[in-house]
Amino acid sequence: MSTFAKRERLLLADLLETAGPDAATLCEGWRTRDLAAHLVVRERRPDAVGGAVIKPLASRLERVMEEYAAKPYEELLQLLRTGPPRFSPFAVKQLDEAANTVEFYVHTEDVRRAQPDWTPRELDPVFQDALWSRLERTARLLGRGVPTGLVLRRPDGQTAVAHRGTPVVTVTGEPSELLLFAFGRQSAATVELEGEKDAIARVHETKRLGL
């Protein structure tokens, strides 16, 4: 049975191939080659990825990223399609599904929405529900850096509190769009914000809402 993570992995790899190694992304400072290198290093070099959160290891991560970015682009995409090696935690199907469904969806949109001619992607309700489930579980973590109260709301009225406080800003949209918003892609997410004007401006100024 195919999983969401596997499907999104293959979609992202195909998109990166079509875009080529030098296309823009929504990840500041990264072209598609850099994004592909990040995805491969994340799964294949656990000795380096800690540098993303542990400052003393940051230089090591940077060196490893440079090494992978220097590889032939086609090789990077093949490594991405092949998936994690057996020793990687991501080789466990349940962890792959839990950690990579959102990772690959967000980065797919990082490539798609950086292009001037992008169009909305139709997502089925089952996938939207899966994204919402993940967003509910991580909303507090993602919203920890927000300077106001923040509530994420689906069009059907379901809500998740990302940050308690006042004044409150309510962000309404499909789960896929709320995820992009919560992962710092505010300007690219198709959502509606309600609240005091100054509070909304402060939320928009928050570059990364959590991770």
Tens of pLDDT, residues 17-45: 999 999 999 999 999 999 999 999 988 88
Within-domain flag for 78? yes
- The verdict on 8 and 107 lying in the same domain is yes
Within-domain flag for 118? no
Within-domain flag for 119? no
Within-domain flag for 117? no
- pLDDT at residue 193 greater than cutoff 70: yes
Within-domain flag for 211? no
Which of 85, 112, 139 terminates a domain? The answer is 112
Structure pTM?
0.90
- The verdict on 55 and 86 lying in the same domain is yes
| Higher-pLDDT residue of 102, 88 | 102
Beta bridge partners of 163: 150
- The verdict on 80 and 166 lying in the same domain is no
Q: What total number of domains does the chain contain?
A: 2
**Interval 47-69 mean pLDDT:** 75
- The verdict on 8 and 108 lying in the same domain is yes
- The verdict on 194 and 141 lying in the same domain is yes
Place of tokens 């709301």: 153
Q: Indicate the average pLDDT of the chain.
A: 90
- pLDDT at residue 109 greater than cutoff 50: yes
